[in-house]
Amino acid sequence: MYTPRNPVRPGAVVTARELVPVAGPPVPVPDPAGRLVHLQFRRFAGCPICNLHLRSITRRIAEIEGAGVREVVVFHSLAAELARYADELPLTLIADPERRLYAEFGVESAARALLDPRAWGGVIRGVARSTWAVLRRRDRPPARRQPNGRLGLPGDFLIAPDGKVLAARYGEHAYDQWSVDELLALATAPRELAPAG
């Protein structure tokens, strides 16, 4: 099992802050309204693998919100690049081109992001779906040059309203993240017993 250099483990308390999304007002983390925050770290704007995963989230966003979870998704892209996708995703999108949040939460990059055979199914499905959508002019291709690279690993954190990290997952490859079912199970688990994943 992969362990990052500076992991944020369940039980840690996240410092309160406001994140500035590419669209909409600042977002407080943790959520003072009493919701859980699913803080996701993805790769770059337009990443076919990330888009495949985020579409599974958007298809079930009503269930996720019904479970008291707010989705906040961080990308290591420039805000202007990420803003091109904001209308398509009913999620809070945060640009972190300096990778400050990534460093704080211990979310790293590595060649295994794409080289791990477990990622290849997601890579093939994501690229095929993205290519088809681009050809039909229903999607945009990602920028050819990614200043922060294409080798980012995903990270998932479930944060309680008091700032306590209830669960954390560090992806071992580019398509290693919580499924919606895993997220909902964590969100509805007794707070003191929520497992790490």
Residue spans of the domains in the chain: they are 17-187
Supply the pLDDT for residue 41.
96
Task: Give rounded-to-5 percent helix, strand, coil for the chain.
Answer: 35, 20, 45
State if pTM tops 0.85.
Answer: no
Supply the pLDDT for residue 139.
65
**Which contacts (CB < 8 Å, 24+ apart) does range 162-165 have?**
162/13, 162/30, 163/13, 163/14, 163/15, 163/16, 163/30, 164/11, 164/12, 164/13, 164/14, 165/8, 165/9, 165/10, 165/11, 165/12, 165/13, 165/14
For residue 96 the two structure tokens come to: 């972190």
Which CATH code is given to the segment(s) 17-187?
3.40.30.10
Tell me which residue of 182, 155, 191 sits closest to 64, measured CA to CA: 182
Supply the pLDDT for residue 193.
45
Supply the pLDDT for residue 121.
64
Q: Give the 3-state secondary structure of residue 19.
A: strand
Q: Rounded distance, CA 119 to CA 173, Å?
A: 6
- Regions of the chain short of the pLDDT cut 70: 1-4, 109-150, 191-197
